[in-house]
A = this chain, B = another copy of it.
Amino acid sequence: MRADNKNVGATTAVPRRPALRSTQAGAASRWLLKKLYQGAGRPPARLSLWDGTEAGAAGRAALAHVRIHNLSTLLRLLSYPDLYFGEAYMSGELEVEGDLVALLEAVYRARAPFRGKGFRNRLADGGLTRRRRNTLEGSRSNIHHHYDLGNDFYQLWLDSEAMQYTCAYFPQADATLEAAQVAKLDHVCRKLQLQPGDTVVEAGCGWGGLARHMARHYGARVRAFNISREQLLFARERVRAEGLEDQVEYIEDDYRNVSGDCDVFVSVGMLEHVGTEHYPDMAEVIDRVLKPDGRGLIHSIGRNRAIGPMNAWIEKRIFPGAYPPSLREMMTIFEHRDLSVLDVENLRLHYASTLRHWLQRYERNADRVREMFDERFERAWRLYLCGSIAAFNTGQLQLFQVVFNRADCNVLPPTREQVYRAEGRG
């Protein structure tokens, strides 16, 4: 086995025709396993089946060992890998020994030269796209699915400082998660040149950390919108405990219903849930509320290219209705209402670091997660965290922070030097 394996290892460029084995069944599953391995782009991993059949890299060349426990899993993986890798990992029909992040990075890298998801994934994706619309009602259901899992659950692995469930900012690589999340809040406020007395509209406020930070440290008055009830419960409790009720109002409503006006419009980690068909709504909300001299910032996961729905398993199990836009797609928001984009920063490596911290805490609390939910859930969320690290590290996902204002507004400083001067002092 071992000797034979070398021929289909990571460095072999030309597929070998499989030799016939003692039984037809064995030969068929071996052939299918090789097909699977080739389809994954020949990553440096070892694959094995329930009957001991193996393919892929051997020994130290293998970053991980993927065990597939039955034929139906193997067939499903061949038909729609993007969905069924996750499904099988979650159910335990597929197990991974070794470095899951490194394995996924290798698969993403191997697939990159083909510039897409592969034919089978694209074909199968077609069935997904119409399902989870972000209408007012649809958004409520989609957001409930993810964000209302219980604050106890998120507290197990998010930062204790501000409960930020978005990309942190690491001024130094070795910053703690807590420090990096606070640095992110300041990074956002500095880019916006937030001033005492500024009125802020925040679209999608999570557990409300940014709103409280803006109020406490910058003297701003914030109206923060969210449709996740669990998150709002937490946010309102915190704002009372911190005595900031006069400055911060948490409003349970959809971003499309935002009214009034503001000096600053900010949205961190909501655009992923808006959907490109609603970008004109987003633009109209901004145009409706932003004062002539107002500044805005949108922070969102994105991609290099618009290649259809996001990973099918993530969409099904983790983030229904989510869609990470390409920067071109994001730009349609600003173009729609003649807004000037002043600054775009891609923080994808910061998201990979953030996720590493989350994963560490998650692993420390895995027993607790199993108690709160079950083993399937616990495995699903590990895969989601690991897959996200791999995606940001290999450029499958990006994190775009976009600063904008109206076309004829020149209030922000002409250089970005002040953002970094302040960070150096901090």
Contacts and interface: CB of A to CB of B under 8 A. Distances in A.
Interface of A: 109, 112, 115, 169-171, 173, 304-306, 326-328, 331-332, 334-335, 338-350, 353, 393-396, 398, 400, 406-410, 414-417, 419-421, 423-424
A414 to B, nearest CB: 4
Identical chains in the assembly: 2
A250 to B, nearest CB: 31
Given A343-B344, A344-B344, 8 more contacts: A112-B408, A170-B414, A306-B335, A328-B328, A340-B346, A395-B408, A417-B423, A419-B420
A403 to B, nearest CB: 9
A306 B354 CA distance: 37
Contacts of A344: 341, 343-344
Given A338-B304, A342-B346, A346-B342, A171 B415 contact: yes
A334 to B, nearest CB: 7
A327 B409 CA distance: 18
Interface of A is mostly: mixed
Contacts of A306: 335
B407 A394 contact: yes
Contacts of A347: 414
Contacts of A419: 420
Contacts of A335: 304-306, 326-328
> Which one of A112, A304, A335, A342 has the greatest number of beta carbons of chain B within 10 Å?
A304
A31 B381 CA distance: 72
Contacts of A410: 349, 393
Contact of A409 (B353, B395, B406, B409): B395
> Which one of A173, A407, A419 has the greatest number of beta carbons of chain B within 10 Å?
A407
Given A170-B414, A393-B410, A423-B417, A398 B349 contact: no
A404 to B, nearest CB: 9
A415 to B, nearest CB: 6
A424 B417 contact: yes
Nearest to A305: B335
Contacts of A396: 407
A214 B115 CA distance: 33
Given A331-B326, A346-B340, A406 B417 contact: no
A343 B345 contact: yes
A407 B327 contact: no
A334 B331 CA distance: 13
A109 to B, nearest CB: 6
Nearest to A398: B340
